[in-house]
Amino acid sequence: MKFTRTKRALLAVASGVALAVSFPDYNLWPLAWFAVGMLVLASVGSPPGESPLYGFLHGVVFYPVCVPWIDTVMRQYGDLDPWTSAGILGLMAVAGGLLYSLFSWGVARASRKSVALACALAPFLWVTLEFARTHLPYIGFPWNLTGYAAARSLALLQITTLTGIYGLSFLIAAYGSLVAFAILVSTGRWLSTERRAWPTAAATTVVLLVVALGGGYLVPSATPHHTAHLVQTNFPQSEHYPSDWIQLHAGELDELERISIAAARKTPGPPELVIWPEVPAPFSLQDPAFAARATRIARESGGDFLVGVVDWKQDASQQWLASNSAVLLDPSGRRIYTYDKIHLVPFGEYVPLRRWLTFAGRLTADISDFTAGTQYRVGEVPGGKFGTFICYEAIFPGEVRRFADAGAQLLITISNDGWFGRSSAPIQHLMMVRVRAVENRRWVLRDTNNGFTAAIDPYGRIVAQLPTDIRGELDAPYDFRTDLTLYARFGDWFAWLCVIATLVLLFLALKPSIAAPEVKR
């Protein structure tokens, strides 16, 4: 099939838009299944010097449409002017475009050997680039990987116990490539390959529809035996906090204390775990007033109390360092567990390469530097062991699985999504946490400042949820599991397999063809 440059560019732009609107708040998820195929159509047969343009167009369109809330957050809480915040989102889009220009170049290069080779390469190369996007130094940002568009199907979601989210990305990319292959070969001569292409695509479509729409009825249910009390603090987000913030908000903290203690006491049987979210205000156990309140909650509730705090520690040179931490107090008020957030938000919780970013001036001046933790620590409460990951860490599948691999039988995530306002970001964040539950086959308790606070079962069902933007408490059912999924045990083996397959197929694509020797007569 011959495409003009204009048609190829339109296909690439449509591909980026289609993938972007597959995610909340648009929720047009069926389009994701065709988005990669459209980019394959744009790339196959394009000239070598032109082909990177089409992947670039895809990325440049995808990011502003899919994550426009980044601009909002920077303007509202970073105190940046509209031009600067829009420029930063634009730079992010350009970076994504450069990454996916490698996709269109690779597919175009392989198509010079054969259309079949190009379409076979596409899903492996797609996953390889998403894997790279996850692990880029400092700026790795695997938000809204393609596979999340398939996570709405409870049946398809179970694939992630084997492959992680990358298996779903591969499935979507492979289906799109198959449809693209059928379109491309159907315009050529009527060969046996062409006669099989459309029936294969049609049969694959039927199988996917049956599994996606009906397979959820075969997914088992999980029976919880415990209840945690997730307290949604609902403090307004602020860029700065005065030194007397705790005193100014004493009444609201009293209310939260009453909510926490009453919730723990109302459940029949032994008091259960009480959880507060990622620190939404200057909470620190080094502050005597807050420490006394936290101790009182633990003692009067009669159970364990997990709370997000800014934790101050001294290093070897006696310098005070701050970490974004989750701390567990036992019923006596004694600290028995601390997890320091390992994967900090770049340009939010720390500035990468701050020494060399002097030109950024205002952008870096107001960003405080947290110190990253180093251990994926596992704690213990009555009934079993748990691991805690904090906010941004939820989007990194390879890091969350480390808690399950280290012995966590329950996963708890605390977050402050107040930074996002009522944009699409909070629901996108929750969507990714659901996948973490299935990848590791663990109950996940998610406590946030203002929503979405929820309990998620090991199969990805949201079994309890608190309304957003209220101050209150959720009785969250949960249980402990000791089995390890293939993904929890071996990590990103499937993504690495895709990397290897990509290198092999690119080698075949770049390998010079050996012409048959001329026969002398």
Point out the residues that are catalytic.
278, 341, 391
**H/E run at residue 413:** strand 410-415
323-361: string of b/e by CB count within 10 Å (b at 16+)?
bbbbbbbebebeeebbbbbbbbebbbbbbeeeeeeeeee
Q: How many CB atoms within 10 Å of residue 15?
A: 31
What's the start-to-end Cα distance of the chain, in Å?
Answer: 38
DSSP annotation of 24 reads T
The candidate with the shortest Cα–Cα distance to 203, out of 219, 185, 186, 179, is: 179
Candidates 499, 485, 501; CA nearest to 162 is: 485
Closest CA to 448 of 230, 263, 250: 230
> How far is residue 297's CA from residue 278's CA, in Å, rounded to a whole number?
17
For residues 54 and 73, what is the distance between their CA atoms, to the nearest angstrom?
A: 29
Q: Residue 229 gets which letter from DSSP?
A: E
Torsion, Cα of 423, 425, 431, 434 (10° steps): -120
Q: CB under 8 Å to 147, separation ≥6 — which residues?
A: 160, 165, 166, 167, 168, 169, 170, 171, 172, 435
